[in-house]
Chain A
């Protein structure tokens, strides 16, 4: 069964290093992988991996500037109440889809 999508968003934040990355980006500044690696006790490769996970969760965005890629925080998925309620709605859509399929397998009582 697919994970609770809202919970999955926060699962991306369960990792302390990823929270640290967000902390560094939270000043509203954009940063490159190299700049973040200087701020954090991890390698550039590890920073890139964590940024990819955060990007998958919609929490950071990247943009190409010249030869480097810069990242910035997009906390919208965490804080946009409307989008939140839409997600709750789609969760119920999938649950009720499963409910319908489950009900279709039930023998109908007389």
Chain B
């Protein structure tokens, strides 16, 4: 099972403009989510929300201007998807434009045998008794 998601796209933009588009809130609100706040420094806070539902909180890990932005994020609400993943947005030259590569990783926590996955589901279950955590690997199996 693949434990990361990779996507890339080539934009008809100079590198500087592409960097602004993937790091500045005014631009991020046009494509990433409806509400985006980001402190573009290492350790900076990120808050992202979608009008249709869902909010994510995160922390900036790495800022290499014009090259690479790395952040960790997780859903605000508890749930079985309440795992923290890492998103890396990288830029490089591609002919007449700039290639944007997005890699989201850290899905190991969803592995069937993962204690973290089990804990995540347990946290979410609250009063819903889907079974003792010992039974979860069975449920988590694909």
Contacts and interface: CB of A to CB of B under 8 A. Distances in A.
B44 interface: no
Interface residues of B, number: 54
Given A2-B52, A10-B77, A109-B17, A75 B12 contact: no
Using C-beta atoms within 8 Å of the partner chain, give the interface range for chain A: 35 or more
Interface stretch (A43-51, A63-71, A97-105): A97-105
A82 B5 CA distance: 11
Contact of A85 (B5, B31, B34): B5
B121 A100 contact: no
Contacts of A10: 75, 77, 79-81, 124
A26 B131 contact: yes
Contacts of A14: 77
Contact of A23 (B3, B30, B127): B127
B14 A108 contact: yes
Interface in B55-79: 55-56, 75, 77, 79
Interface of B: 1-3, 5, 7, 9, 11-14, 16-18, 21-22, 27, 30-34, 50-56, 75, 77, 79-81, 85, 100, 102, 104, 107, 110-112, 117, 121, 124, 126-131, 136, 139-140, 142
11 contacts: A3-B51, A4-B52, A4-B54, A4-B56, A10-B75, A20-B127, A79-B140, A85-B5, A92-B102, A95-B31, A96-B102
